Amino acid sequence: DTGVSQNPRHKITKRGQNVTFRCDPISEHNRLYWYRQTLGQGPEFLTYFQNEAQLEKSRLLSDRFSAERPKGSFSTLEIQRTEQGDSAMYLCASSLPRDRNTGELFFGEGSRLTVL
């Protein structure tokens, strides 16, 4: 399978615990995005990487959230001291470099977080 891969698919945690999600993009894609999606809503932008550089962060990304893409391949999204309001689906997407980019985003199946 050469699509975008996300792990874990589901995570249940207690309030105050830390969680980490991983995203493996399509191998030739240098652009990587994290989104948050709550029930009945469209995806909301969190952050964007081009290669290993984090070029944009949404104001939705509080100090408790951190994302990395250390070698320009996979990425991690960590949430510290989780709150019940963090419960959501976290989606990762990737896309081609600018010279071949058609604007299409390729999404993983998401990581669903439930904070008790």
Partner 1 sequence: AQSVTQLDSHVSVSEGTPVLLRCNYSSSYSPSLFWYVQHPNKGLQLLLKYTSAATLVKGINGFEAEFKKSETSFHLTKPSAHMSDAAEYFCVVSPGAGYSSASKIIFGSGTRLSIRP
The residue ranges that bind partner 1 (CB under 8 A) are: 4, 31, 33, 40-45, 48, 55-56, 58, 91, 93, 98, 101-105, 107-110, 112
Closest approach of partner 1 to the CB of residue 82, in Å: 21
Closest approach of partner 1 to the CB of residue 81, in Å: 25
Of 9 and 64, CB closest to partner 1: 9
Of 24 and 44, CB closest to partner 1: 44
Q: How many CA atoms lie within 13 A of 24 on its CB side?
A: 9
Closest approach of partner 1 to the CB of residue 115, in Å: 18
What is the Cα–Cα distance from 92 to 108, expressed in whole angstroms?
6
The DSSP call for residue 86 is G
What is the Cα–Cα distance from 108 to 80, expressed in whole angstroms?
23
What is the Cα–Cα distance from 71 to 25, expressed in whole angstroms?
12
